[in-house]
Structure 1
Amino acid sequence: MGSHSSAVARIPDADDIRRETGFSQASLLRLYHRFRSLDRNKKGYLSRADLQQIGALAVNPLGDRIIDSFFPDGSLQVDFPGFVRVLAHFRPINEEDTRTRDPKEPEPLNSRMNKLRFAFQLYDQDRDGKISQQEMLQVLRLMVGVQVTEEQLESIADRTVQEADEDGDGAVSFLEFTKSLEKMNIEQKMSIRILK
């Protein structure tokens, strides 16, 4: 165990990162090794090209949008803390975490609300706080590919936005998005078991 904690000590700000993300020491160490293996040129940060090496993202229809989330505000690189912060959204929720959480502490990155915020921004490409029918259509095109006609996709996008759009403005706000997904188990659907 001693060598395990000394390896974590080499991770800059490891304790702060663990507190913020909720990752265990072992998970943080695994993620650090993964980060370093993706950083082929040992730059200390990852670029889009580095993240595109991840097979699961390469085959995910929303892979490019997920990669975009590592680069907020148009930055071209992500350091280890930023890498881990994004991945923390996919950490499974522990029942103990929700029971013992201090209400004065910030909401965990893997909370239902933060998972929903993350999912919402995958749709809201222009970052205006609403998912338009056009943005919904873009996501549907990515997800279903050529199996469905353009007319069918437009109809599905239209109906999806109409069903969620409670205020009648022709778009889906974050609040409307959360309401439309209230029966869905986002906590499980947006979790990757290895990220404990």
Structure 2
Amino acid sequence: MGSRSSHAARIPDVDSIRRETGFSQASLLRLYHRFQALDRNEKGYLSRMDLQQIGALAVNPLGDRIIESFFPDGSMRVDFPGFVRVLAHFRPVDDEDEGNRDPKEPEPLNSRMNKLRFAFQLYDLDRDGKISRLEMLQVLRLMVGVQVTEEQLESIADRTVQEADEDGDGAVSFLEFAKSLEKMNIEQKMSIRILK
């Protein structure tokens, strides 16, 4: 079909994508090439099957949940801006980013709160705004596989929900989730260094 160019000018809406995601022009170009490589049939979008070709997601226990995050609202395809928006959550936080941010601008996609929101939605399988004991158990099963007995997993799920559940409703809200992780360096743990 058409030839694939390496010019950033060929990336649709490159300036607005750069502002929204915080990626440099060079990073966007690398991501655009990756997007094009995954889009083997040059459709202009990626399907779930295209994303399943990414080796790191294939071996990640939460790979299917991460792939699902590229398709909000049950859509069947993701275009380049949507692809980059999801990846922007994993962009490392630069100290200079925080100091120069205009408070009137939206919070960057790679901010601590947005990283926490992204992580929360990996657990909130039914998207009701709460992580139930059953949802916690399902994610734990994905993460540890057969290395732990079902009884041990249930105990871990119970304890995790109980410790985070401050209002006693038997589930973990986003605010409870964020508070339970306040000492964890989410900014580092949810960063991929190549995504500068």
Which runs of structure 1 show a deviation greater than 2 angstroms over 4 or more consecutive aligned residues?
A: none
Taking the aligned partners of 1:10 and 1:41, their CA distance within structure 2 comes to: 18
Q: What secondary structure is seen at the aligned counterpart in 2 of 1:37?
A: helix
Report how far residue 179 of structure 1 moved: 0.3
Match of 2:92 in 1: 92
Aligned match of 1:149? 149
Whether 1:18 aligns to 2:18 is: yes
Structure 1 residue aligned with 2:58: 58
Two-structure CA RMSD over aligned residues (Å): 0.6
Three-state SS of the structure 1 residue aligned to 2:147 is coil
Query: Partners of 2:194 and 2:172 in 1: how far apart?
Result: 32
Post-superposition shift, 1:8?
0.6
TM-score by length of 2: 0.97
CA distance in 1, matches of 2:142, 2:125: 13
Aligned residue for 1:172, secondary structure, equals: strand
Identity %: 89
Write out aligned runs for 1:1-196 (5 A): 7-196=7-196
Whole-angstrom CA distance in 2 between matches of 1:12 and 1:175:
36
Runs (5+) with no aligned partner, structure 2: 1-5
Structure 1 position 176, deviation (Å): 0.2
Could you tell me the TM-score, scaled by structure 1's length? 0.97
Cα separation, 2, equivalents of 1:149 and 1:157: 12
Which secondary structure state, in structure 2, belongs to the residue aligned with residue 128 of structure 1?
Answer: coil
Distance (Å, rounded) in 2 between the aligned partners of 1:34 and 1:128: 33
SS in 2 for 1:146: helix
Structure 2 residue identity aligned to 1:173: S
Deviation by residue 1:141-180 (Cα, 9 ceiling, x = unmatched): 0000001000100000000000000000000000000000
* Structure 1 runs not aligned, ≥5 long: 1-5
Partners of 1:140 and 1:105 in 2: CA distance: 36
Deviation at 1:31, TM superposition (A): 0.1
